[in-house]
Every structure is written in C-alpha cells, then in structure tokens.
C-alpha cells in the first residue's frame, strides 16, 4: 500500500517534470481565427509556455502584413497568460531552437490535413530529431474553419463575425473594402 503511494507521488513528480515543456505553435495566421484560438487555449493548459509563431510566408501572399497578423494574434490571445506571439522568417526549426522549445504544435481538423502535416512533421524530425511535433484537434465547432475560407466568405460579403475576435472581424472587413 505504502509502496503504491510512493509510486503514485513519484509518478506525479515525473509527470509534472515532463509537462514543463515549451511548445511553438506555428502558422500563417492570416488572420487568426477562433479555430486557432481554441487550439492555443487547449495548448496553454498542457504546456508551461506556448509561443505562437507567425510565419512571414511571402509565397502565400498573405492578405495582412506580418505586423498586422502579430497585432491581431496578440489581441485575440491576450486572455491567455502563458502565451506569447512572435514573428519569424525562414526555417521554423531555427525559431524552435532560438526559443528553446521542445515541441512543435499543429492543429488537425480533418483527415485532409493529415498528409501535409505528416510530411511536415517528418521533415522537421529530419532537420532536428530532438524536437517533437504534437497535434491537437479543435472543438467540433471549428473543425471546418480555416482562415482561407473565412477570407473567401468575407470577400463575398458574408458575415464571418462568429469565427473571429470582433476587432479582427472589423479589420478584415476594412481590408476587403479598401
């Protein structure tokens, strides 16, 4: 009995040590949606620190400048105290190392995400075998949600306010009108 209590305490100590982990959540976030926010909230419960890393992604021709995406992510995530937001240009793995993070976090919405994410995780493991990729799924309300779909609907005058922080929704409308 005593043995099993000791075992339990040791297990808890080990578990808390294991979970003392910094995760990087990379993406384009053009703009940040409630799907991204949902994932960031879940991650903030699991990891000691979460860094949302916004890729410049010039080849994707983002609608918003990197600085604008950073601002929108910061205001959408300001209710989470163990989250910070950074921008990066270049190799993700370099930012992971610079931040001393151990985990790359990605979201999986549907099976269609899997192939690309699987390749990305394998490539990142080739580049640095110590860094692990972990996946979280969002609430079922957001499994269909993507920033590109939000932009598409908004560009046709559709109401996407339920998918974005109110300020981000305003900025999206302004950008599409301007």
Q: Does 165 participate in binding ligand ADP (rule CB under 6 A)?
A: no
Q: Does 113 participate in binding ligand ADP (rule CB under 6 A)?
A: yes
Helix 166-177 to helix 66-76 angle, to the nearest 10 degrees? 150
Work out which of 70, 147, 154, 172 binds ligand ADP, going by CB under 6 A.
147
Q: Does 106 participate in binding ligand ADP (rule CB under 6 A)?
A: yes
Q: Does 88 participate in binding ligand ADP (rule CB under 6 A)?
A: no
* Smallest gap from residue 148 Cβ to ligand ADP (A): 7
Q: Give dist(CA 32, CA 80) in Å, integer.
A: 15
Q: 39 or 83: whose CB is closer to ligand ADP?
A: 39
Q: Give dist(CA 41, CA 138) in Å, integer.
A: 10
Q: What is the DSSP secondary-structure string of 66-104?
A: HHHHHHHHHHHSTT-TTEEEEEE-S-HHHHHHHTT--EE
Q: 28 or 76: whose CB is closer to ligand ADP?
A: 28
Q: Is the peptide bond before 31 cis (omega within 30 degrees of 0)?
A: yes
Q: Which residues contact 175 (CB under 8 A, 6 or more apart)?
A: 63, 64
Q: Does 27 participate in binding ligand ADP (rule CB under 6 A)?
A: yes
Q: Does 35 participate in binding ligand ADP (rule CB under 6 A)?
A: yes
Binding site for ligand ADP (CB under 6 A): 27-29, 33, 35-36, 39, 106-107, 109, 113, 138, 142, 145-147
């Amino acid at each position: 009995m005593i043995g099993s209590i000791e075992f339990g305490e040791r297990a808890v100590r080990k578990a808390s040590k294991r979970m003392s982990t910094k995760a990087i959540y990379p993406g384009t976030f053009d703009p940040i949606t409630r799907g991204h926010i949902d994932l960031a909230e879940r991650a903030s419960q699991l990891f000691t620190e979460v860094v949302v890393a916004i890729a410049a992604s010039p080849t994707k021709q983002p609608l918003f400048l990197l600085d604008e995406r950073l601002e929108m992510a910061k205001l959408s995530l300001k209710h989470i105290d163990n989250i910070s937001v950074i921008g990066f240009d270049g190799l993700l793995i370099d930012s992971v190392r610079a931040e001393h993070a151990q985990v790359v976090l990605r979201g999986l919405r549907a099976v269609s995400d899997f192939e690309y994410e699987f390749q990305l995780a394998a490539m990142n493991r080739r580049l640095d075998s110590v860094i692990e990729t972990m996946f979280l799924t969002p609430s079922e309300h957001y499994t269909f949600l993507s920033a590109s779909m939000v932009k598409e609907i908004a560009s046709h005058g559709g109401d996407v306010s339920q998918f974005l922080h109110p300020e981000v929704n305003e900025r999206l409308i302004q950008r599409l009108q301007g």
